[in-house]
Amino acid sequence: MQESDREIVLDALSIHERVVQMGQAISRDYATGNLLVIGVLKGAFVFMADLIRAIDIPLVVDFIQVSSYGHASSSSGDIIVRSKPTIAVQDYDLLLVEDIIDSGLTLQWLSNHFISQGARSVKICALIDKAERRAHQVQLDYCGFSVPDGFLVGYGLDFNEQYRHLPAIYHLKTPV
């Protein structure tokens, strides 16, 4: 990615400050809960690493990896689970952590999946919300930033597996 192909959207300090606020809100809300934080791989791993260190109540962590074959314009889509969590979700208050929510398909499917598995409660936390693109109804309980449409990379977000390591988030001007 050339400097000219990208435009900064969220710098590292702004991300850090917002993630700390989100961690504090989660700590308050789950003070009497039994918190299991499940990250959606791969994109959420950087955000989740920072988020859990901003939470000061007991918690356990796990991950799920999924692939989506849905289309934002259709009302249904298929999700394939590539890798499952190892912790049984029963008796836990689940917090699903995602990098970015676009059509909503992935999180709608995951939320229903974990409710049907017997989780005590399921809430959703996403760093970035592309609300304009929502095709599937989901309740976003914790949202870091809302952005307009556009393809973003960095801080875990990839384009063809590249750019996840960048400490800030950029708009990729020519993703294809």
Binding part of the chain for ligand IMP, among 10-18, 56-64, 83-91, 152-160 by CB under 6 A, reads 152-160
CB-wise, 93 or 99, nearer to ligand IMP? 99
Annotation marks residue 102 as catalytic: yes
For residue 104, the partner it binds in Mg ion, ligand IMP, none, with Cβ less than 5 to 8 A by kind, is: ligand IMP
Q: List residues bridging with 145 in a β-sheet.
A: 128
Mark 130-141 as b/e (b = at least 16 C-beta within 10 Å).
beebbbbebebe
| Structure tokens, 145 | 């930033």
For residue 93, the partner it binds in Mg ion, ligand IMP, none, with Cβ less than 5 to 8 A by kind, is: none
Binding of residue 127 to ligand IMP (CB under 6 A): no
Residue 110 exposure: Cα atoms within 13 Å on the Cβ side: 33
CA-CA distance, 61 to 36, in Å (whole number)?
A: 6
CB-wise, 28 or 165, nearer to Mg ion? 165
Residues numbered 5-64 forming contacts with ligand IMP, rule: CB under 6 A: 43
CA-CA distance, 39 to 116, in Å (whole number)?
A: 18
Quick one: which of 36, 157, 166, 169 contacts ligand IMP (CB under 6 A)?
157
CA dihedral 43, 49, 51, 52 (to 10 degrees): 130
Which sequence positions are flagged as catalytic?
A: 102
Task: By CB under 6 A, name the binding residues for ligand IMP.
Answer: 43, 68, 72, 98-106, 151-152, 157-158
